[in-house]
Amino acid sequence: MQPGLVQLTLTVNGERRAVTAPLHHTLLEVLREELGLTGTKHGCELGECGTCTVLVDGRPVLSCLEIPAALEGREITTIEGMESAAGLHPLQQAFAELGAAQCGYCTPGFLLAGKALIDEKPAPNRAEIVEALGGNLCRCTGYLKIYEAVELAAARMRGGRVEATPEALYGGA
Amino acid sequence: MMRLPPFEYHAPASAAEAVAVKAAAAPGAMYVAGGTDLYPNMKRRHQEPEALISLHRVAELRGIEEGADGGLSIGATTSLTEVRGHPRIRASYPALAEACRLISTPILQNMGTLGGNLLLDTRCNYYDQNYDWRKSIEFCMKKDGAICWVAPSSPRCWAVQSADSVPLLVAMGAEVDLLGPGGERRVPVFALYRDDGIVYLAKQRDELLTRVHLPAPNGWRATYRKVRRRGAFDFPVLGVGAWARFSPDGIVEDARVVLGGIGSAPEVVAGAAEALIGGSLDDASIQAAAQAAWKTGRPLDNTDFTISWRKEMIRPTVARALGDLRDSR
Ligand SMILES: Cc1cc2nc3c(=O)[nH]c(=O)nc-3n(C[C@H](O)[C@H](O)[C@H](O)COP(=O)(O)OP(=O)(O)OC[C@H]3O[C@@H](n4cnc5c(N)ncnc54)[C@H](O)[C@@H]3O)c2cc1C
Ligand code: SF4
Ligand code: FES
Ligand code: FES
């Protein structure tokens, strides 16, 4: 294949999308520039921040270091695909309730990495959450609210009506 | 915005086809596995290959199999996540699972491969910068320039071997298969490296790393210890791989201590083996081995942290690694 434009069929958020893009553009660039999906954020571009995280076949990867031509036939999920007809994903709901997003720039990446963790381990403990989110940087929240939001969402997804504790909402007693 | 430079793209379906495509491509063509080393480097214009030969369609390069000799054989493009999570590796080669856990971040481990880790480009504070940064101080000799900013009177580059699996695999005596246009050969991991920051691999240009072979897990133990600033993301400023084989009554029959994150190649500390062999891994022999490693390791000022602190960390880190071998007995 020569340098220049390529025609690809990518499966993004369950839809097959035909796209023509420069071969050397990353998935991050093609999502934002060709597909208009700007929910995936553009940070360091070098793998050092995690804000560009998307899921490929359910696993988190960094879209700034993926070449779309290698992803034909794979299921790509971006933040735009996290909400369903039933409404926000429980993790999105928990982020909103607990204030786990401040400026919001890191949030799409944390939400997708957190969703992948809960899908794999429905009852992650704090150490597992810290490790799984270790590839996503946040400069605002100090991380605690994010960890608590993952715990809250995971508890709700296991069943039952779980409310945020006052400590999580307002800080320790 | 840092885009990749344009390239031709090939996605062969077999290892033999990959080698043939590579041999026929322009001299600067490169293989790419996970791309987590190569793509950032290309964005910074460290590497500007005219063509990329992607290995993602080559199924035979992926996966973990029992070796003929009771060891284990790991396909080069097996992801770090798969390596660290594999039941056989967790049970029989826990040090390798641990070394992979300590690489980059869990997300990058989904992308990065074991083969790519072995062939990781060497690193330096004056090199791992974008094009404009490097240009602004004048390029160094590793790419585009003529001088070394770390050792300006030096005729060579001192960029650092920084792959976490390497000191461990060298210590364990692991081997790799290299498939070239003229056939396949098996070499010890140690023989892959040259003590030069620029031409850091002894592999021939078109050779494809196909498999990593781990020795049968009997009679020996191994460990890996890493020093870095943060608990994720950061490359090692010191990596210690240690391995020892014991007699039934607990005497060290053979041992290797290997330092990474210091020189351009992994460094085997001969004095450490001398201090350990024939003894029972008691405190005195561990201290003597740690002292030998401290003497061997000469960091230069081209990674995170000060050189003096990095040098000081050699002694306690080697001692802790050898302590791991004793404690897991
Ligand atoms: C933010 C960040 C942090 C990181 N932290 C660490 C760290 O702490 N420790 C660490 O060790 N690494 C780290 N890495 C580097 C990298 O992610 C890993 O080393 C990874 O294992 C590289 O594998 P890869 O498949 O992505 O390699 P690639 O980028 O695909 O390839 C690396 C090199 O090997 C060549 N190559 C790859 N596979 C083959 C093959 N089968 N045959 C022949 N040539 C081949 C490529 O041409 C290239 O030169 C980090 C990277 C990033 C972006
Ligand atoms: S060691 Fe010297 S030549 Fe090598 S990358 Fe660093 S500054 Fe450049
Ligand atoms: S933009 Fe991809 S990791 Fe920062
Ligand atoms: S909310 Fe601002 S960086 Fe995380």
Taking only the tens place, the pLDDT of each residue in A79-117 is 999 999 999 999 999 999 999 999 999 999 999 999 999
The verdict on pTM exceeding 0.95 is yes
Give me the pLDDT at residue B219, please: 93
Sequence letter at residue A20: T
A97 vs A56: CA distance, rounded Å = 28
Task: Return the domain boundaries, chain B.
Answer: 1-57, 62-119+160-327
pLDDT of res. B254 = 98
pLDDT tier at A24 (50, 70, 90 boundaries)?
A: very high
Q: Are B310 and B238 in contact (CB under 8 A)?
A: yes
Q: What is the topology classification, in CATH, of domain A5-81?
A: Ubiquitin-like (UB roll) (3.10.20)
| Residue among B47, B43, B56, B49 at smallest CA distance from B26 | B49
Distance from CA of A14 to the nearest CA of B (A): 21
Whether A5-81 and A90-164 share one fold: the answer is no
Ligand closest to Cα of B128 equals 2
pLDDT tens sequence across B291-328:
999 999 999 999 999 999 999 999 999 999 999 999 87
- CATH number of the domain at B1-57, out of 3.40.50.2000, 3.30.9.10, 3.40.50.1370, 3.30.43.10? 3.30.43.10
Q: Does A129 touch chain B (CB under 8 A)?
A: no
- Which chain A residue has the Cα nearest residue B55? A70
d(CA B159, CA B128): 10
Chain A hits for B7, Cβ within 8 Å:
3, 23-24
Give the count of Cβ contacts less than 8 A between chain A and B.
84
Helix (H, G, I), strand (E, B) or coil at B163: coil
Q: Say yes or no to pLDDT of B69 above 60.
A: yes
How many CB atoms lie under 10 A from the CB of residue B143?
17
Contacts of A25 in chain B (CB under 8 A): 3-4
Q: What is the pLDDT of residue B264?
A: 98
Q: Judge whether residue A168 has pLDDT over 90.
A: no
DSSP characters for B296-316? Answer: H----S-SSS-HHHHHHHHHH
Instruction: State the residue for tokens 């995280």.
Output: A53
Please give the Cα distance from A30 to B198 (Å, whole number).
33
Task: State how far the alpha carbon of A106 is from the alpha carbons of A76, B156, B211, B270, in Å.
Answer: 19, 41, 37, 47
Determine contact: B132 vs chain A, CB below 8 A: no
Ligand 1 atom closest to residue B236's alpha carbon, by position in its atom list: 8
Q: What secondary structure letter does DSSP report for A31?
A: I
Q: Is A46 on the interface with B (CB under 8 A)?
A: yes
User: B108 contacts in A (CB within 8 Å)?
Assistant: 47, 62, 135
The answer to whether residues A54 and A78 touch, using CB atoms and an 8 Å cutoff, is yes
CATH number of this structure's domain A90-164? 1.10.150.120
DSSP, residue by residue, B199-258: S-B-S-TTPEEEEEEEPP-SSEEEEEEEE-SSSSSPPPSEEEEEEEEE-TTS-EEEEEEE
Does residue B62 carry a pLDDT above 80? yes
Instruction: Name every residue whose Cβ is closer than 8 Å to that of residue B179 and which is 6 or more positions away in sequence.
Output: B15, B16, B19, B207, B208, B210
DSSP B174: -
Q: Pick the residue of B105, B109, B304 with the most A CBs within 10 A to test the interface with A by mutation.
A: B105
CA angle A50, A51, A55 (to 5 degrees): 75
Put simply, whether B7 touches A (Cβ < 8 Å) is yes
Quote the CA–CA distance of B228 and B238 in Å, as a whole number.
7
How close, in Å, is residue A60 to chain B by CA atoms? 6
The DSSP secondary-structure symbol of A32 reads I
Token output for B307: 């050189």
What is the atom index within ligand 2 of the atom nearest the CA of B198? 4
Task: Classify domain B62-119+160-327 by CATH number.
Answer: 3.30.390.50
How many CB atoms are located within 10 Å of the residue B321 CB?
Answer: 28
Give which of A96, A105, A95, A172 is closest to A138, Cα–Cα: A105
pLDDT over 70 (residue A1): no
ipTM for the predicted complex comes to 0.96
Torsion from C-alpha of B172, B283, B162, B186, nearest 10 degrees: -10
Nearest by Cα to B322 from B275, B263, B262? B275
**Ligand 3 pocket, residue A90 CB under 6 Å:** no
* Cβ contact, residue pair B8, A1, below 8 Å: yes
pLDDT tens sequence across B19-59 = 999 999 999 999 999 999 999 999 999 999 999 999 999 99
